[in-house]
Every structure is written in C-alpha cells, then in structure tokens.
Structure 1
Amino acid sequence: MKNVREVVGIDVSKNTLDATLYHVKQHAVFTNDDKGYAQLLSWVSDQLEVDSYFFIFENTGNYSLKLSVFLSSKDLVYVEESPMRIKRSTGLTREKTDKLDSYMIARYGWMYREELEPSKIKPKEFQELGRLLSLRDQLVRDRSGLKSTLKEQMHLLSSPSTDSCCKLLVRSIKHIDKQVQHIERRMKELLETDDSLQTNYNLLRSVKGVGLILSCQLLYHTSNFVKFNNWRSFSSYCGIAPFEYSSGSSIRRRKQSHYIGDRKMKTLLSMAAVSAIQSDQELRNYYHRKLEEGKHKMIALNNVRNKILARSFAVIKRGTPFVNIAATNY
C-alpha cells in the first residue's frame, strides 16, 4: 500500500462508526449497520479518488466483523489491526474520545502504510469455528464455577444427594456437558467439510499432547497454517518465545517470554506439555534433562511447549504424521 495518498481511520463501537480522513482532517459519525456502511462509502468517495486510500480499524470482535464483511464484499482495501499495536503507537495521551481515537487510528495507518498488509475476511468455516471455540470456552468456565459451588454445598450439607440446590447444580452441570459435546461434534463436522482442514487436523492429532481443542485453535489462529511462516513466529504470537533482556554492562537478565501474547493458546500449550511429558518418552527425558541442567520447572515446561509447536508445524510442512523415533527404536 505504498501508492495511497489518504487513510480512513475508523473507531468501531457497538452502535456507531467514527471515521476520520487523516490529511483532509474531516470527521463523521455513521451507524454500525449496512445503512451506515453505505453512507460511509458515499462520504469517502465524495472527497477521495478511487484506489487512493484504504480503511483501517481495530479488531473489536463481533463489532468490527460486520464492517470487515461489508468491505470485503465491495472489494475495498482495509486493514484490521490489533488494538494494542495502535495504542502503543499513540504515545502519551491524556484525552480519550471516539473522534480522537479515529484520528489516532488513521495516523497509525499513515505512519506504517508501507509495512501494513491488506486484511482478508476469514472463510465462513473459520468464522463458525472461532465462534464455537469461544462458546465452548464460556461453557467450560461456567461449568467450573458450578462445580465449585456444588463442592462447597456438599461440604456444608449432611445429605447433599437430597438437597434441592445440589440437584439443580448437578442437572445444570450435566446439561452443560451435553452442550460441550454437541459443540465438539459440530467442530469435527466443520473440519470434514474441507479436505485441507481435515488432513491438517489428522496430522496435528498425531503429535503427542495435541488434542481436539488445541488442534482447532492452531488451525483457527494460523488460518490453516498460512498466516505464520514458521513455528517461531507463532511461538512469539502465543507469548512463549524467550527474548533477551540486556542494557549496557549492568543489566543482564536471563531470556524470558514476554507477557504480551495469546493467553488462551499459552494455557492450552501448557496443558498439552504436561500431557506430553506423561505420555511421550522423548519429551519426558527432554524435560528431566532440562531440570538436571538447573533450569526452573516453568522454563523446562516452556521448552516442551515450543517442542510441541515445532512438531506441529513440522508435520504440516512435511504432510506426514509424527513418528516417535525413540519409541520405535525402543
């Protein structure tokens, strides 16, 4: 996007869109629906030439998804950027309004216009897969809360099996179990609709510690392994890649992962690492070898997490299932 002469920054909220033309310094507010999108395009086309600009806005989940779908249907160039990237580029700001936010978004787009890549809407299968994963996470959290409440009630009562509250809690937990199972079945059905997704899913399941949910999360976040070039860049995205921290001659800290990252992916990879250490002889030996070297348990576990990512990307790149050579020789 090196030849653009203008940037349209949009601050997306639930009901409205605040749009700002960076150089023209024009601002307008539109509704966050199809009617507002049409008015937005009309407002922009009245002031700018065709193909001389691009839209940029923050990824705000469902609020920005509708706008992305509309712009894609019109074959318009847009960038859906991470809110944190834009926020960290603004520097020190004391005031916050939707109008100012739209200007800062436009400013970010102009400053980094040569580095930004146009965004593309994910296929419907990926959109549904993302919604299913999000809904399943919500149900699992709700189920955990109900189980904790049930456990507390059982400690307080002498005969919890006959208590009406306990009965309702048990019934609710069983209902959520059925809903989670239904979601997981639908996720498998979605994977079967695309040969590439199904093939990559089967390859991922061959890696020890990688189950249904982690496989689906990997497929979703990597857009079926086309969004990231290698496992190291995805490790950085997840927040498990170690980085050096040094300055001058006095500050020399050990390498550690940055706190910014996808917490859900980090948690899933931690669970996968624990499972792999128990079931995979090679990873178990690797983990204990790191401990014997004096590594902290969390550092050794993080090494296993990266090993699992490396294996996952490797099987996708080769197109063949993972084979544990150590176990085969044994």
Structure 2
Amino acid sequence: MKNYSDVIGIDVSKLTLDAHIHNRVVHRVFSNTPKGYKALLSWTETYLKEQVYFFCFENTGHYSTNLSVYLSENDLDYVEESPLAINRSSGVVRGKTDKLDSAMIARYAWLYKEELVLSSPKEQDIQELGRLLSFRDQLVRDRTGKMSSLKEMQTLLSSPSTDDCCNIIKKTIHYLTKQIIALENHIKNLMSKDESLQKNYELLNTLKGVGLVLSCQLLYHTSNFKRFDSWRQFSSYCGVAPFEHSSGTSIHRKNRIHHIGDRKMKTLLTLASVSAIQCDQELKQYYNKKVSEGKPKMVAINNVRNKILSRAFAVVKRGTPYVVLQKFVA
C-alpha cells in the first residue's frame, strides 16, 4: 500500500456511520446515506487536506455496500475488512459503543496498514445476484417453516378449524413455491445478460451435483472467479480446507477443518457432495476408497467437497465443460 499518513475508521450501522480519524483523535457521526457520505468527505478534508489517507470499515453486507460504491466512484482508497479479523486483533476491550468501535477499527487499520489490501466493490451484476440469492434463501426458509407447521397440524385430530388451517397453509406453500420458481427464472435472466457470467454458469452446471443455487453462490462469492487465485484459497474461505495441528514433539493431532468459514457455502457443498456420490461414479469410487482406508464418513465427504471445488475452478480456468473419463462411463 501507499505511504499513508492517517486512516479513518468507520463503524457502519443501518442508519449511521461513526467515523474516527486515528492520528487526530476526532470523532463524528454521519447518516448512512449519500448526503452523509458527502458530509463525511467534507469533514475528512477539513482535518486531512493534502494528506494521503484511506478509510477502513467492517464488511456488514448491505449496510456497507453503498458506502464502498460511493468511495470507489470518488476514487478514494478504502479497506473493507472482516469483522472477525478486527475483533481478534483488538485484545481486551471493556465496554462497547459505536464510538469505541470506530476508534478500534482505525487503530487496527493503522497497525496493519502494510499488510492490508485495498478493496473494490463487486460488479453491479454480482451485487444484484447476491441480493436475489439472499431473497431466495428467505423465501425457502419461509416455505420450510410453513411445511413444518402443516406437518404439525396434520397430526392433530381432524376438525373443521384444523382442516381450514391446513388448506390455508397449503395455499401459502404453493404461493411461495411459485415465487421461488419466478425468482430463479429472474436469476437466470440476469446471468444471460452477461456473457462471462452465463458462460461460467454453464460450465459449472456440467459438474455432477452442482445445480443452479450452488453455481450462483460460487459465482457470487468468487466475484465470477476473480476474487480467489486458486480453489485452495476458496476452500479455506468456505471452511472445508483441513489444517495441521501440531506443537513440539508431543502434540500431533489429525488435520481438521477450521470452524471459521462461510456456513452457507459449507452446507451447499455438503449437499452437492452427497448428490454427486450418488450420480458420479468417479466421486463414488473416490468416497468409498477414503472410507475403506478407515477415514470417518464426514472426512470422506469433506474430501469430495474439495474435489468439487477443484473441478469448478478447473472448468472455469480452462473454459471447457467437465468431461467424465471413459473408464467411469457405464
């Protein structure tokens, strides 16, 4: 990074931005709106005119997206960091307020400024894809809840009121299903408008066990395979990469995956692995081999998860669909 003279730490919430200039030790609150962003830049220039500085804030999903886009449009340097990384580096902290959090973020950015990498917002189509996937997840959760309620209702003794409730829930489930299908079609139409997205989507769908949802999540989390250099990096991001655990001569434990990772991606990869084992002879043989070697089934499943990720990155990098080896064709 550049030779920065100061840093502005920002604690982002739904409605406000708490900004703290590290070396000047000044703090101010702004609204999380375009008007607030403009006031933030004006306030910053008041203290740091003709100085080289950058902004640092936590990645808080939709709350921080507009800020990152605004800073990028104004050619301002910023770092959008993981909240966990900032919290782990803060040491013992007594009390919690937005003002203290902004100062802690500024301190973190100043201490690690040589190691931090400047951020940039996701492309508009990728952002839109993420919003659609998030809304689809919400609809699926709602439908699952209604299906559970229906199952409970059907265990009760039959009565006019119970039957009416069941019919209402069935209609709700049917309506949610239609909305999910419509949203999935919207997602497909979005990708069809971008040649690169559509091509990579089609390549990913040539893999056994990989469908619409996992393909789209891979495209979103990897920013259309531009964010990570290799599948191993993305495996670590998802939380499915095994790590060594040893110390000295007495502690030598088995390699284990770390609990830190993207739970959604981990779940989707697990479902894809279970499906792939059923319909992909190569992965089925690979899974059975790991189990026969004495590995627990979940460890074997994790190996399959990494196989799927390596295949996904391979087909996109080559630009050619996945082809099943001849010896595995029935």
- TM-score w.r.t. length of structure 2: 0.97
| CA shift digits 1:45-92 (9 cap, x unpaired) | 011134600001011122111211221221111111111111111011
The residue number in structure 2 matching 1:70 is 70
The alignment of Structure 1 onto Structure 2 pairs a total of residues equal to: 330
Letter in 2 for 1:55: F
**CA deviation after TM superposition for structure 1 residue 329, in Å:** 5.5
**CA deviation after TM superposition for structure 1 residue 97, in Å:** 1.3
- TM-score w.r.t. length of structure 1: 0.97
The residue number in structure 2 matching 1:222 is 222
Letter in 2 for 1:182: A
Comparing 7-16 with 113-122, greater Cα deviation is found at 113-122
1:246 aligns with 2:250: no
**CA deviation after TM superposition for structure 1 residue 2, in Å:** 3.0
**CA deviation after TM superposition for structure 1 residue 157, in Å:** 3.0
Q: What are structure 2's unaligned runs of at least 5 residues?
A: none
Q: What are structure 1's unaligned runs of at least 5 residues?
A: none
1:35 aligns with 2:35: yes
Comparing 319-328 with 126-135, greater Cα deviation is found at 319-328
Letter in 1 for 2:323: V
Q: Give the distance between the partners of 1:326 and 1:23, measured in 2 at CA.
A: 65
8 Å contact kept, 1:154–1:160: no
Letter in 1 for 2:134: S
**CA deviation after TM superposition for structure 1 residue 268, in Å:** 0.3
The residue number in structure 2 matching 1:291 is 291
2:210 partner SS: coil
Q: Give the distance between the partners of 2:100 and 2:154, measured in 1 at CA.
A: 54
Letter in 2 for 1:207: L
RMSD value over aligned CA atoms?
1.5
Q: Aligned ranges for residues 254-293 of structure 1 at < 5 Å?
A: 254-293=254-293
1:208 partner SS: coil
Q: Give the distance between the partners of 2:151 and 2:143, measured in 1 at CA.
A: 12
The residue number in structure 1 matching 2:12 is 12
| CA shift digits 1:212-255 (9 cap, x unpaired) | 00000000000010100000000000000000111222222100
| CA shift digits 1:123-156 (9 cap, x unpaired) | 2211111011111111111111110110111111
Comparing 108-117 with 174-183, greater Cα deviation is found at 108-117
The residue number in structure 1 matching 2:158 is 158
1:128 partner SS: helix
Q: Give the distance between the partners of 1:157 and 1:218, measured in 2 at CA.
A: 46
**CA deviation after TM superposition for structure 1 residue 17, in Å:** 1.1
The residue number in structure 1 matching 2:177 is 177
Comparing 102-111 with 298-307, greater Cα deviation is found at 102-111
Q: Give the distance between the partners of 1:233 and 1:278, measured in 2 at CA.
A: 27
Q: What percentage of residue pairs aligned between the two structures are identical?
A: 61
8 Å contact kept, 1:77–1:118: yes
Letter in 2 for 1:12: V
Q: Give the distance between the partners of 1:223 and 1:61, measured in 2 at CA.
A: 15
8 Å contact kept, 2:153–2:162: no
8 Å contact kept, 1:240–1:257: yes
